[in-house]
Amino acid sequence: MYHACKPSLPQLRVWAPRAQRVDLVTRLDRQLMLPQDNGWWQAEESPGHGEDYSFLVDGEGPFPDPRSPWQPGGIEGQSRRLDHRRFEWSDQGFQPVPLSSAVIYELHVGTFSPEGTFKGVMHRLDHLVELGVSHVELMPVAEFSGSRGWGYDGVNLYAPHHVYGHPEELKELVNACHSRGLGVILDVVYNHLGPRGNYLPRFGPYFTDRYRTPWGDAVNLDGAYSDDVRRFFIENALMWLRDYHFDGLRLDAVHALYDFSARHFLEELAWEVKELEAGLGRHLVLIAESDLNDPRVIRPFQAGGYGMHAQWNEDFHHALHAALTGESQGYYADFGDLAHLAKALEKGFVYDGIYSQFRRRRHGRPAPDICGHRYVGCLQNHDQVGNRARGERSSQLLTQGQLKMGAALVLTSPFIPMLFQGEEWGARTPFLYFTAHEDAGLAREVFHGRLAEFKGFGWDPGDIPDPQDPETFVRSRLDRQELSQDRHAEILNWYKQLIRLRREYPELTSGRPEQVRVEFHEEKRWLIMRRGPLCVACNFSPAQQTVPLGGQATNLHIVLASQADAALYGWDLFLPGHCVAVLCCRLN
C-alpha cells in the first residue's frame, strides 16, 4: 500500500549547538554539513528513502540521527531514511469514540502474540472487537536496547522497534485497527532515555544535572538551549499522531518532567496537539501517568491547567487492589479500607491533601469538580502486574469471585475503564520484567536496581526471575489455549457482559461525580455503588450475607450477577461470598 511517486525528501538537518563540525556519512561518501541558525546543521545532498546514513560530531561517531525514523540494525546501527508519504491509508473519515465512552485495552506487542510483532497483533484484532473494547493502547514501541523489553528505555524515539517490524507494518496495524472501529493510543516516554544507545548528549544539552530522576539526569526542559530540546519531544509526539495516525498518546510518568518555566512542557504539548487536531480534522487525546494527585494536570488551559485529557488514577487501582487482596506492603499501606475505595469512586483522588503514611507527608489536592472522564481506572496494568517480584496477575492473587468483583467495579465505575492484555479471560501467565541488554554490566545494574526497589514490598530476592533470561520473556507471553478451559471462558463471558452493560446504560458512562453514591459497611465488608437506576452491590467477605438496599425504589430486578444464587428478598439482597450483583431499580 504505497504511493508510487512522491517529491523528494527534504534535506537532512541535525541540531548540534556546541559542535564545531558535523559530517553526514552515507554508504558512498562523507560530506561536511553546513551550519544554520540556532545550532542547526544541514546537508547539501541527502540520501533518499530507504538509504542509510549517520553523523560524525567533531570527528566522533558515527552516531544515529537523533530523529532517525528507522533503525533496521537496532540502536547501534545506521539510520535509514523513511518517506512517510509513501504509505497509502484507507482510514479517511475514521473517528474513534470519545474517551467518555471508551474502554481501553493495554497490550505489549512482544508478548501479545506468539509472533511478537505488529503483524501478530493485527491478526488478533477480531478478538478485541468481539470483546467490545474501543481503543488499543500499545506499550512503547520506540527503538530500545536488545530484542526484548518493555520499551520504557527507548533511545531512538522516532523509530519503531525493528524487532516488532518495519515502520510501514506499524502503520498497517493502526490502519487495520481503524478499519475495525478501534482507536489506537501509543505509550511514549519523555522523562528519560535508556542507558544504552543514548547518543543525544553527543549532539547537544538534552539533559541537565540540575534535577535528578530515578533514571539519572532529567531532560532539559527549562535551562539553556531548552527551546530546541522541547521541540524535539513535541515534534516526536506530533509525528506519531500525524504520520502514524495514532489517535492519542499516553505520557509516561509526567511527574518526572521537571519544568519550572512559565509555560509547562505539558501545556505547550497539549496546545500543539490541539492545533494538529484542528489541521487534521481528527480527534486526538493525551493521557498522563502522574504520581502527583494534582488536578492541574487534567484541568483545561482556561482553568490554569496543563490540558491533558485524562490521567491514570492510581489511587483507584490501589484502593481496589488492596480491598480485594488485603495486601499492605509498599504503597498499599495507604489503602485497604472500603472507605478508601468509596472515596476513590466518589471523588477520584483518595489522597487529596490528606496525610499519606507511605510518603510520611500530606499528598495531593482536592478535585471536587473533576469529571470521572478525566480518570482512567483499572484492576491491572503493566506496572502493577510487571513490577511485582513474580509478575502475578490478579487472576493469580484472587478467587474467581473476587476477580469478577474487581472487573465489575472497573467497568461500572465513573472512570474510563482500561484492561491489561489477557485480563479479560483471567490469564494465568505472569507478566514479568524482561530485557535483552548486550552489555552484561548494564544487565547486572538493572537487576540489582529492581532488587532494591522490591525491598519496600518485602519480596524475597530469590523469587525474582532474571530479566535477562529468555525464559522470563517466554513465560510472559499470553497463552490463548487457556480460552478453551471453562474457568477462563467464564471470565471472558463476564467481561463481555459488563462491557455490553456499560454500553446499554448511559448512566454507566456518565462521569458526573455528584451522580455517584457509595454506601459501605467496613466490618461486614459490603459496598454498594448507585449510578442512576443501577445499583452495584459487592460482598467483599468470603461469607454469604444479606445486604440492605433501602426502600428507595420499586420494581427491582437483577440484571447481572457473578453468581446465580444471588437473590432479592424485598429490600434485601442475598449475596454469596465474593459476589457482585448489578440491579436495575426503577425510581418512584
**Tens-place pLDDT, residues 467-487:** 999 999 999 999 999 999 999
Residue 74 has pLDDT above 60, yes or no: yes
209 is catalytic: no
| DSSP 8-class letter at 279 | H
> β-strands 248-251, 183-188: how paired?
parallel
List domains and CATH numbers for the chain.
13-86 (2.60.40.10), 517-587 (2.60.40.1180)
Residue 454 has pLDDT above 70, yes or no: no
Cβ neighbours for 588, distance < 8 A, ≥ 6 positions apart: 552, 553, 554
* Active-site position among 289, 294, 315, 482: 289
Query: What's the pLDDT score for residue 550?
Result: 83
Cβ neighbours for 413, distance < 8 A, ≥ 6 positions apart: 316, 345, 372, 377, 529
Query: What's the pLDDT score for residue 309?
Result: 98
> β-strands 553-561, 579-587: how paired?
antiparallel
289 is catalytic: yes
How far is 270 from 251, CA to CA, in rounded Å? Answer: 11
Q: Which helix (H) or strand (E) holds 22?
A: strand 22-26
What are 233-248's pLDDT values in tens digits? 999 999 999 999 999 9
Residue 121 has pLDDT above 70, yes or no: yes
Query: What's the pLDDT score for residue 334?
Result: 97
Q: What is the mean pLDDT of the chain?
A: 94
- Which percentage of the chain shows pLDDT scores above 90? 89
Q: Which helix (H) or strand (E) holds 356?
A: strand 354-356
Residue 490 has pLDDT above 80, yes or no: yes
Query: What's the pLDDT score for residue 440?
Result: 77
C-alpha cell at 228: 530546541
pLDDT average, residue stretch 97-124: 98
* Active-site position among 252, 383, 423, 424: 252
38 residue type, one letter: N
Burial label, 28 (beta-carbon count in 10 A; 0-12, 13-18, 19+): exposed
Query: What's the pLDDT score for residue 3?
Result: 45
DSSP 128-187: HHHHT--EEEEPP-EEESSS---STTEEEEEEE-TTT--HHHHHHHHHHHHHTT-EEEEE
How far is 494 from 502, CA to CA, in rounded Å? Answer: 12
Cα 49 to the center of its chain, rounded Å: 32
pLDDT band at 442 (very low <50, low <70, confident <90, very high): confident
Residue 4 has pLDDT above 80, yes or no: no
How far is 16 from 34, CA to CA, in rounded Å? Answer: 12
What are 362-385's pLDDT values in tens digits? 999 999 999 999 999 999 999 999
- Which percentage of the chain shows pLDDT scores above 70? 95
